Amino acid sequence: MIMHKDEFIALLEKIAPPMLAEDFDEGRIGLIVDGTDRIEKVGCALDATPYVCERAAEEQFDALVVHHPAFWNAMHGVTGRNVEILRPLLRNNINLYAMHTNFDHAQGGINDVLAQVVGLTDCVRMDKTPNSIGVVGTMSKDFAEISRIFGCGLRVWGDVSHVTKLAVAGGSAFDPELIEEAVSLGAEAYMASELKYNIARESPIPCIEATHYALEAPGMRVLAKTHGWEFIEDIPVTSIIQ
């Protein structure tokens, strides 16, 4: 289907309304790189890495939709890695659009898909505060199976042998307030990425750490599949030493 760029942006804003984004995302989501007005071929990825942007150029995409903003800090010059990101996009007139915390919070977004992937049932969304993300539900898979689904090992702090209610939150979401909210919804363990020692020590329930990519890439894969876009994988194959 061919769309004008304005129609395409309207579609993306319907999927993940910008008003759902957290304050720190201001200026970092939406249309990041302006390209062609004619949108027919779309690529999707978790991050706009140099590899992903080169692939977008090779595949002759008209737009690339990513989860993480490509540029976090204001730029007073375009140098280094930023050149590698921008050059293939600008040379080929490719639009770059980022949907970050707005897609974390959106219905059917990162965290809803994550809950489906790990097999949670009877799900309740965490929504006590504006920055709450995550889902609490009843486990239908064990942690060994979840590890196989993710393709990565799980780092566990605490005893999870009898856990039946699990909270999951995509990305770097080991936050004491979020963990307390998960507990209030019946969670017996909490899964996210980038666990810090002090958080693990103070958590009232066991913490399970997966990789950032494993938790958030599924949401972007489902987004791509739903709309007939191509998902670009950009993570090396890893192995677990036993």
User: From first to last of its 242 residues, what are the pLDDT tens digits of the chain?
Assistant: 799 999 999 999 999 999 999 988 888 899 999 999 999 999 999 999 999 999 999 999 999 999 999 987 777 888 888 899 999 999 999 999 999 999 999 999 999 999 999 999 999 999 988 889 999 999 999 999 999 999 999 999 999 999 999 999 999 999 999 999 999 999 999 999 999 999 999 999 999 999 999 999 999 999 999 999 999 998 654 444 44
What pLDDT does 223 receive? Answer: 98
Instruction: Please report the pLDDT score of residue 3 as a whole number.
Output: 95
pLDDT on residue 119: 97
Q: What is the pLDDT of residue 110?
A: 97
The packing angle between helices 81-91 and 50-58, to 10°, is 10
In whole angstroms, give the CA distance from residue 166 to residue 191: 7
CB 160 within 8 A of CB 189: yes
Whole-model pTM: value is 0.92
pLDDT of residue 76: 80
The topology under which CATH files domain 3-103 is 3.40.1390
- Of 212, 179, 240, nearest in space to 104 by CA: 212
Q: Which SS3 state, helix, strand or coil, does residue 27 take?
A: coil
d(CA 201, CA 94): 46
Residue indicated by tokens 């990162």: 110
Q: 12: which 2 tokens? A: 């993306």
**CATH 3.40.1390.30 domain locations along the chain:** 3-103, 107-216
Cα-Cα end-to-end distance for the chain:
48
At residue 149, the pLDDT reads 94
Rounded to whole angstroms, the Cα distance separating 77 from 129 reads 38
Backbone angles phi, psi at 80, to 5 degrees: 55, -135
Domain 107-216 sits in CATH at: 3.40.1390.30
